[in-house]
Amino acid sequence: MPTHRPTRPRSPLAGPSAGPTSPFPIPLSGPIVKGFGRGSRELGIPTANIPLAGLSVGGHQEVESGVYYGWAGVDVDAEGLRVRGGKQEGGGGGVWPMVMSIGWNPFYKNTVRSVEVHIMHGFANDFYGARMNLLILGFVRPEYDYVDKESLVEDIRTDIEVARRSLEREAYARLKDDPYLTQFQGGEHEQQVAS
């Protein structure tokens, strides 16, 4: 059962300066699906959600609930419009920094675990159905319960800044160019993840 968030100050960085250590980096992929609709509407922090089954396909179903950071490759352009083709065969799209939650979202009393990714970029369009490849590089914090929505939003905004600063370090920044991020599987992979 998740605990309430601690009152002590948070560290401004996550992960060792030398770069990711085991079990990171963790690759994860799937089609972007509609979530609970709370990210943008209630919290002002939009998310791109992938099915929980994506963890199983990647062999990481036992990943601890909590907040993580890394890079997100999506087959869309900077406006959020779908891209076909790209720099590499089967590739294309863009890569952006991300912070993500894997868990039960105890503040909302979810009955199912979810994978919710906040891509640190302002898109003009929704892109449900687009393909997303994640390279998870580190753990920010465990999942907490909150006494009010304002505390939840405050922590998410801190998570975003911790992720941004952590990814600016050279050992993490260079992983933005990992070819995996812009090489997307075809429809059969998406069917496997979505089922």
Taking alpha carbons only, the member of 95, 136, 98 closest to residue 117 is: 98
Residue 62 is a catalytic residue = no
Which H or E element spans position 152? helix 149-168
CA angle 94, 98, 104 (to 5 degrees): 130
42, 89, 116, 168: the catalytic one is 116
Task: Output the CA torsion sign for 168, 116, 140, 68.
Answer: negative
The percent helix, strand, coil of the chain (3-state, each to 5) is: 25, 30, 45
Task: Name, in order, each residue with C-beta under 8 angstroms of 176's C-beta and a sequence gap of 6 or more.
Answer: 71, 95, 97, 167
Rg of the chain, C-alpha, whole Å: 16
As a three-state string, the secondary structure of 41-62 is: CCCCCCCEEECCHHHHHCCCCC
The token pair that represents 35 in the structure block: 């979530």
**How far is CA 164 from its chain centroid?**
13
Residues annotated as catalytic are 116
